[in-house]
Amino acid sequence: MARMIRIPLLLVVSAIVWLAPAVVLSAQAGGDAPSPDLIQPLAKELNASPKQAEGAAGALFALAKTRLSPDDFTKVSGAVPGMSQLLAAAPKATSPAASMASALGGQAAGLASAASAFSALGLKPELVAKAIPILTSFVGKSGGSGLASLLGGVLK
């Protein structure tokens, strides 16, 4: 009887050991994917591809990261699946307008930086204003209205 139990148990343990690395790799690959619930509505509103929408979201979240305390950005980041991928998708702003506004500082620098990033993605700079409510709405649904207000406040 004990031998009959050991064989199935051995098979189960072997299967777990054999499959565990594949499960871990799969979770790591998909665990940091941006939410379609954010990217699809954003792409639709901007009349953009999903990759452009990821870059646009990343550019705005990168701006928020510069304006929020590290603790507050960690809270926002926790409400947005795939934040690291979104930030990586944001183009680096290097336009003359962004550089000039950066010298001025403040709100103008951030908005010029976002507009420059949108241009680099092939999007019209004025679409920044359409993207912000979608991001804040998503953060509100996943992290609460206080977090949405916090994000909206730094993206004005």
pLDDT computed for residue 76 by the predictor: 97
Spatial separation of the C-alpha atoms in residues 82 and 88, rounded to whole Å:
10
Q: pLDDT tens for the chain, 156 residues: list them.
A: 555 555 554 444 444 444 444 443 333 334 579 999 999 999 999 999 999 999 999 999 999 999 999 999 999 999 999 999 999 999 985 545 444 444 445 555 667 889 999 999 999 999 999 999 999 999 999 999 999 999 999 998
pLDDT computed for residue 87 by the predictor: 96
Spatial separation of the C-alpha atoms in residues 156 and 151, rounded to whole Å:
9
Say what the alpha-carbon torsion angle 117, 121, 123, 125 is, to the nearest 10 degrees.
10
Contact present, 128 and 111 (Cβ < 8 Å): yes
Contact present, 64 and 76 (Cβ < 8 Å): yes
Cα dist from 67 to 4, 31, 61, 153, whole Å: 64, 27, 10, 10
Q: How far is CA 53 from the centre of its chain?
A: 10
Q: What is the pTM of this model?
A: 0.74
Query: 3-state SS of 112-139?
Result: HHHHHHHHHCCCCHHHHHHHHHHHHHHH
